[in-house]
Chains A and B, each alone.
Chain A
């Protein structure tokens, strides 16, 4: 079964660093783009970017470029999304999803990030 398993909820203070993960299984992880999608509380879906595990080629939305960093560890079949300094406005659910041809066909359950002083 193709699965994406995301790391657990995070509670951070403004200014702290954060790295969340997304582990793929049941398929050839390196050969499928992995994307990240933000959903702020009560709001819609926002496309953050995608990364190709085989060569770490990454495409960012201008809205998130410079705010987050996507990375992968092929040996661990894991994708990461990280912040150097989180802000209260980063409070949201973050989904990873597999992106074979443009559409996201398999989704993780999401990682809830709460940033509060």
Chain B
């Protein structure tokens, strides 16, 4: 099974900062990674699919990159509404799997 390890586990940044979250996979793949945002009390929301494709309606400050075993979610300019926990998920092999999450807070 493919294991996904996110770093950092938590992150505090200032408004307007550029934020990057890493997702490292135990096996290489491409076009099979998604990123989700989950706010307290809400279901997760798909932000990025196929490594780097932005879901319609998601602000353009969010972007995804990477391939092989290393993937990154970038928020170009942090906004207050971006406070949430972020998860990566692979769909290369069954069982699909999620990273453990990265909790993002505002300083």
Contacts and interface: CB of A to CB of B under 8 A. Distances in A.
Nearest to B101: A44
Contact of B95 (A61, A101, A103): A61
A32 interface: no
B43 A108 contact: yes
A44 B103 CA distance: 10
A61 B55 CA distance: 26
Interface in A24-59: 35, 37, 44-47, 49-50, 59
B62 interface: no
A63 B99 CA distance: 16
Contacts of B96: 35, 47, 50, 61, 102
B18 interface: no
Interface stretch (B20-28, B44-52, B66-74, B76-84): B44-52
Interface string B49-65: 11000010000000000
22 contacts: A44-B98, A44-B99, A44-B101, A45-B44, A45-B87, A45-B98, A45-B101, A47-B95, A47-B98, A60-B95, A61-B96, A62-B1, A95-B44, A97-B44, A101-B50, A102-B32, A102-B34, A103-B34, A103-B46, A104-B34, A105-B46, A105-B55
Interface of A: 35, 37, 44-47, 49-50, 59-63, 95, 97, 101-105, 107-110
Interface of B: 1, 32, 34, 36, 38, 43-46, 49-50, 55, 85, 87, 89, 91, 94-101
